[in-house]
Copies of this chain bind each other. A is one copy, B any other.
Amino acid sequence: MPRPIGEDELEPLALGAWILGTGGGGSPYHHLLNLRQAYRAGKRVQLVEADELADGDFVAVASNMGAPLVGQERLKDPQTAARAVRMMEEYSGVGFRALMSIEIGGGNALQPLVVATELGLPVVDADAMGRAFPELQMTSFAIGELTMYPLALCDVRGHEVIVSKASTPHWAERIGRKVCVEMGSIASTCKAPRTGREVKDWAIHGTVSKAIRIGKAVLDARRRHGDPVAAVIEEDDGKLLLRGKVVDVDRRTTGGFLRGKVVLDGLDGDLGRRVEIEFQNEFVLATLDGEPAAMAPDLICVLETETGDAIGTEMLRYGQRVSVIALPPSAILTSPAGLTRVGPRAFGYNIEFKSVFLS
């Protein structure tokens, strides 16, 4: 049965999604402001399970594309976010029954809810990454070899573009990225329409609820003066890699991505240990004392030790007291086809994937 997402679940969702973003996905803060305003105006967003969809229903995958820092320069506009979905309806001729996220990590977890307040459609409790990833083709849909076009993009100035065909998911990413950059490095998008059957077969289920649970665990821990990081680990069967502080950040914007490395030295029980994490928007590879310790698609999350708040790769700075944790990825990401798309080699590291959770 569809159930309304309560106003008291919005902050936990933003908090949990930011943690599942593994450093990327963009800050959910503006989306949270938009949702609170809509809720105060009496609007409510309904959450439906993938299994409640009919096979022939169509689901709109709504997200922002672009540079996270640019996205933070201006409050998101719900009408523009909704327009990308309307464009896709007009282009493809399908009527959408529901909305869903492309990635549950960061602001894009909330984008379909923002669109939902405009269009009155429910949101499916699912996404296509179970976290955040930097590129369009790093999805469970691409792993399932579903068609990744058409792709609709629009901006606040009224420009609209449809990538109606692409030879590969990677080419849809390449062409769409250039359009996005010309739109000012931030665009509202609607991905290829998905059928209810495809969402049931290939989406990663229950991730909206999971983000809310993680966010609630953090808030509960704060309320009882407990350990919010331990609460996240307990809630999602995670592992602590290091408690320490940021001692160096090397970060550059290149090729449309934020790339770099953060160095963390252990404190207290971890004194003398050093973790280095390389990132491409999201954290990709963590080494402990020089040896690979965690890698994508395992979720590597850097949280403020005191509050449990996630720290985005664009917000890392010297001196932050943080905890590095790993959370388990969805099974589809660690399948052979999954690792081809999102394993260490997909990010340019010539190493075999080894999960933190199998050691």
Q: Choose, from A15-23, A38-46, A165-173, the stretch at the interface.
A: A165-173
A162 touches which of B159, B161, B171, B182 (Cβ 8 Å): B161
Interface string of A159-195 (1 = CB under 8 A from B): 1111111110001001100110111000000000000
A182 touches which of B87, B154, B178 (Cβ 8 Å): B178
CA–CA, A204 and B157, complex, Å:
32
A76-110 interface with B by 8 A CB criterion:
87, 91
Interface string of A235-279 (1 = CB under 8 A from B): 000000000000000000000000000000000000000000000
Contact of B160 with A164 in the complex, beta carbons under 8 Å: yes
A158: Cβ under 8 A from any B Cβ: yes
- Name which residue of chain B comes closest to A182, CB basis: B178
Q: In the complex, what's the smallest C-beta–C-beta distance from A215 to chain B, in angstroms?
A: 37
Q: In the complex, what's the smallest C-beta–C-beta distance from A190 to chain B, in angstroms?
A: 12
Residue numbers in B under 8 Å from A159 (CB-CB) = 163, 165-167, 171, 175
Q: In the complex, what's the smallest C-beta–C-beta distance from A81 to chain B, in angstroms?
A: 16
Number of identical protomers = 2
- Chain A interface mostly: mixed
Q: Count A interface residues, CB 8 Å.
A: 22
Q: In the complex, what's the smallest C-beta–C-beta distance from A319 to chain B, in angstroms?
A: 40
Q: In the complex, what's the smallest C-beta–C-beta distance from A150 to chain B, in angstroms?
A: 9
- Name which residue of chain B comes closest to A164, CB basis: B160
A165 touches which of B158, B174, B175, B181 (Cβ 8 Å): B158
Q: In the complex, what's the smallest C-beta–C-beta distance from A120 to chain B, in angstroms?
A: 24
Q: In the complex, what's the smallest C-beta–C-beta distance from A281 to chain B, in angstroms?
A: 20
A285-344 interface with B by 8 A CB criterion:
none
Contact of A175 with B163 in the complex, beta carbons under 8 Å: no
CA–CA, A185 and B339, complex, Å:
33
Residue numbers in B under 8 Å from A167 (CB-CB) = 157-159
Q: In the complex, what's the smallest C-beta–C-beta distance from A359 to chain B, in angstroms?
A: 42
Q: Among A87, A160, A166, A181, find the residue whose CB has the most chain B CB atoms closer than 10 A.
A: A160
CA–CA, A163 and B176, complex, Å:
12
Contact of A164 with B165 in the complex, beta carbons under 8 Å: no
CA–CA, A270 and B162, complex, Å:
55
CA–CA, A183 and B163, complex, Å:
12
- Name which residue of chain B comes closest to A151, CB basis: B161
CA–CA, A178 and B163, complex, Å:
13
Q: In the complex, what's the smallest C-beta–C-beta distance from A211 to chain B, in angstroms?
A: 33
> Which A residues lie at the B interface, using CB under 8 A?
87, 91, 154, 157-167, 171, 174-175, 178-179, 181-183
Enumerate the 10 nearest inter-chain pairs by beta-carbon distance, A residue then B residue, closest first: A160-B165, A160-B164, A162-B162, A178-B182, A178-B178, A158-B167, A175-B182, A157-B167, A161-B163, A159-B166
- Known: A160-B165, A178-B181; 19 extra A-B contacts, CB below 8 A, are A91-B91, A91-B164, A154-B165, A158-B166, A158-B167, A159-B175, A160-B163, A160-B164, A161-B161, A161-B163, A161-B164, A161-B175, A161-B179, A162-B162, A162-B164, A174-B182, A175-B182, A178-B178, A178-B182
